[in-house]
Structure 1
Amino acid sequence: MLVGVPKEIKTHEYRVGLTPAAVREYVQRGHKVLVQSGAGAGIGASDDIYRQAGADIAKTAQDVFKSADMVVKVKEPQLEECAQLREGQILFTYLHLAPDPQQTAALIKSGCTAVAYETVTDERGGLPLLAPMSEVAGRLAIEAAGVALKRPAGGRGLLIGGVPGVPAGRVVVVGGGVVGLHAARMAVGLGAEVTILDRSLPRLRELDEMFAGRVRTLYSTFEALDNEVAAADVVIGAVLVPGASAPKLVSRDKLKTMKPGAVIVDVAIDQGGCFETSHATTHAEPTYVVDGVIHYCVANMPGAVPVTSSHALNNATLPFGLALATSGLNALLANPHLRNGLNVHKGKVTYKAVADSLNLPYVSAENAIAA
């Protein structure tokens, strides 16, 4: 199979779909890889390094999309990229379709087979291709909050970890999954006072044991959430419903109870965000203010650290990408976990949470492939 890697074009997105090491793995298995010139610049991988790994270099993205049997990316295709996709072509990337009707419509129109990293599953019920970027985003969330809290940035002028004799900042993490765990680890490491809210008692027990009492764990009732948000200096939104739009857990009315200059970091923004006042921002303009509260809602947070992110992502995606390159649609039929990644196929939405979120007809992945 000919595997194509276009350069990412989302604002300040420096990651790359395949690292040179991953390219070598594809080539060693008999596949051809076509990489757009400059695609690896963000991770310090020149065209020559890709050639040494066995790739051919294309001058333009159009050359990649026109030639490739499978396109491997990082971020969701922009509309100009969707227009270049075609029936019979596999797209393997993050999609986050539930809050994005335009992209969904464009993928449906293209007729391509779109497999989303974020809905591929594993034997334990986890999301193995989402996890590495969730780890990165969770850690970056605390770094971003620390910058936004500084007075020159409009924040409260608070040091998250405090100093001896001065109280540390209060960090509230809403959601105890991968993002929440790594955000809490960073915040604890800085010396913050950390609370994690979640609706899974088994998960709260796990977190309590992991942190040995260093964090407070609370069952996430409406009352508990309201109280914690009002008292927080930083709130991290880390709630995920796989494939679906994130629930809006904090309304604008509740936002008004927060301290002036407090910060919210909505890591769930790729799925629409879990604060009513959230809307996606970019690394170029990462924050905005509503009712005195600073909002950091960058939709591709891990793109700021592309070396770490690209290698971590490729470590996770490589086995699945190789399966698709080797077996095509048969890989989806053979592996139910990879099949869970199928979101759109030949004009049909094949992931129920996406169809429900966008009020579109749903066809099971098995039926869509069989048809």
Structure 2
Amino acid sequence: MIVGVPKEIKNHEYRVGLTPAAVQEFINNGHDVIVQMHAGASIGFTDELYQAAGAHIIESAEEIFERADMIIKVKEPQPNECKMLREGQTLYTYLHLAPDPVQTQLLVESKATCIAYETVTDNRGALPLLAPMSEVAGRMSIQAGAHYLEKAHGGSGTLLGGVPGVAPGKVLIIGGGVVGLNAAKMAMGLGADVTILDRSLNRLRELDDMFNGRLHTVFSTADAIDYYSSRADLVVGAVLVPGAAAPKLLTREHIKNMKPGSVLVDVAIDQGGCFETSKATTHQEPVYIVDDVVHYCVANMPGGVARTSTMALNNATLPFGLAIANKGPKQAMLDDAHLLKGLNVHKGFVTYKAVVDALGDSLNLQYKDALDALAF
């Protein structure tokens, strides 16, 4: 199989689909790898390193898409990339289709086989290809929040850890999954006063045990969100409904009641965001202010630490990617029900129900169960 790795083109996106070490694994399995010139250069993965691993360096993205049987990326394809996809070709990357009708329509029209990292599962029901970036984003959410709490950046001038004689800042984390856990670790490491809201009592018990009661765990209700958000200096949105649009848990009224200069970090923005006032931003222009509250809604947050993120992502995506290349996408998915969960679009059909549920009113989508679609 010819595996193609184009350079990412989203604003300030420096991650790359394969590291040189991952390329060597594909080469050792008998595949050809073509990598676009300078695809990883900005994070230290030079063309020479890729060539040493056995890859061929290609100048243009157009040639990568034309020649490759499988395209491996990080971020969702931009419109011009979608238009280069073709039937019989496999796309293996993050997609986040539910809040993105344009991308969804273009992928349907391409008739390519599109496997989304974020919906691949494991035998524990977790999302192993989303987890590494959730870990990164959770940790970065506190870094970003602490930065934008500084007065010069629009915040209230609050130091999350406080100092002797001055109370620490209050951090509210909505969602106790991988993002929430990693955000809590960072915030508590800084000395902040941290509360996590979640609707799973079992998860709240786990978190309470992990932190020996130093973390406030609260069952998530509308009343709890109202109470704790109005007192928080930093709120991290860390909710996830796999493959679906994120629920709007913080309303405009909640935000009006927040303290001036407080900060919102919406880690769920890839799935449409979990705050009513959220809109996707970039690393170039990461924040905006609504009702005196700073909003940080960068849609590719882990791209800010692109080298760490790329290596962490490759550790997770490589085994599935090798299975796709070694067996072919159809057989690989038939052999692995967890990889099959990653199939979102195939031959013009949407194969992930949550995407149809989110976009059915705006697009004339044809849904087909993933197994049925593979037989088509």
The TM-score by the shorter chain falls in which range?
over 0.9
Query: In the alignment, what sits opposite 2:347?
Result: 346
Please tell me whether residue 200 in structure 1 is matched to residue 205 in structure 2.
Answer: no
Per the alignment, residue 372 of structure 2 pairs with: 367
Counterpart residue number, 1:252: 252
- Tell me what 1:85 maps to: 85
- The one-letter code of the counterpart of 1:238 is A
Amino acid at match of 1:192: A
Letter of the 1:339 counterpart = L
Calculate the TM-score normalised by the size of structure 2: 0.98
* Deviates most, 37-46 or 339-348: 37-46
**What pairs up with 1:293-312 in 2 under 5 angstroms?**
293-312=293-312
Tell me the residue number matched to 1:212.
Answer: 212
Counterpart CA distance in 2 for 1:92 and 1:133 is 16
User: Could you give the per-residue CA deviations for residues 90-143 of structure 1, whole angstroms, max 9, x where no partner exists?
Assistant: 000000000000000000000100000000000000000000000000000000
Q: Secondary structure at the match of 1:305?
A: helix
In 1, distance between residues paired with 2:192 and 2:253? 26
Q: How does 1:1-371 map to 2 (within 5 A)?
A: 1-328=1-328, 329-359=330-360, 360-371=365-376
Deviations 1:197-243 (A, max 9, x none): 00000000000001111110000011011100001000000000000
C-alpha distance in structure 2 between counterparts of 1:140 and 1:106, whole Å: 32
User: What CA distance in whole angstroms lies between the structure 1 residues aligned with 2:224 and 2:287?
Assistant: 27
Tell me the matched-pair count.
Answer: 371
Residue identity (%): 65
Q: Secondary structure at the match of 2:227?
A: helix
Task: Give the AA of the match of 1:333.
Answer: L
Q: What is the Cα deviation at residue 358 of structure 1?
A: 0.6
Partner amino acid, structure 1, of 2:128: P
Amino acid at match of 1:43: I
Q: In structure 2, what is the Cα distance between the partners aligned to 1:366 and 1:42?
A: 40
Task: Could you tell me which runs of 5 or more consecutive residues in structure 2 were left unpaired when the two chains were aligned.
Answer: none
The CA distance in 1 between the partners of 2:205 and 2:340, in whole Å, is 32
The CA deviation at 1:41 is: 1.1
**1:355 shift after superposition:** 1.0
TM-score by length of 1: 1.00
**What code does the residue aligned with 1:135 have?**
E
Amino acid in the other structure paired with 1:363: K
SS of the aligned residue for 1:51 comes to: helix
The 2-side partners of 1:333 and 1:9 are apart by: 32
In 2, the alpha carbon distance for the partners of 1:69 and 1:362 equals: 25
Give how far 1:361 is off.
3.2
Q: In structure 1, what is the Cα distance between the partners aligned to 2:349 and 2:367? A: 7
How many Å apart are 1:42 and its aligned residue?
Answer: 2.5
Unaligned runs of 5+ in 1: none
> Which letter maps to 1:368?
A
d(CA) in 2 for partners of 1:89 and 1:227? 50
Rounded to whole Å, the distance in 2 between the matches of 1:66 and 1:333 is 27
The residue identity in structure 2 corresponding to 1:28 is N
Q: Distance in 1 between matches of 2:192 and 2:42?
A: 33
Q: What SS does structure 2 have at the residue aligned with 1:99?
A: coil
What displacement does 1:43 show? Answer: 1.8
CA distance in 2, matches of 1:50, 1:63: 17
* Structure 2 residue identity aligned to 1:103: Q
Range moving further from structure 2, 324-333 or 110-119? 324-333
Q: Which amino acid aligns with 1:367?
A: D
**What do residues 15-43 of structure 1 show as CA deviations (whole Å, max 9, x unaligned)?**
00000000000000000000000001122
1:362, CA displacement in angstroms?
A: 1.7
AA aligned opposite 1:259:
K
Q: List per-residue Cα deviations over 1:268-288 (Å, max 9, x = no partner).
A: 000000000000000000000
Give, in angstroms, the shift of residue 145 of structure 1.
Answer: 0.3
State the 1:248 CA deviation.
0.3
The CA deviation string for residues 26-83 of structure 1, in whole angstroms up to 9 with x for no partner, is 0000000000000011220111110000000101100100000000000000000000
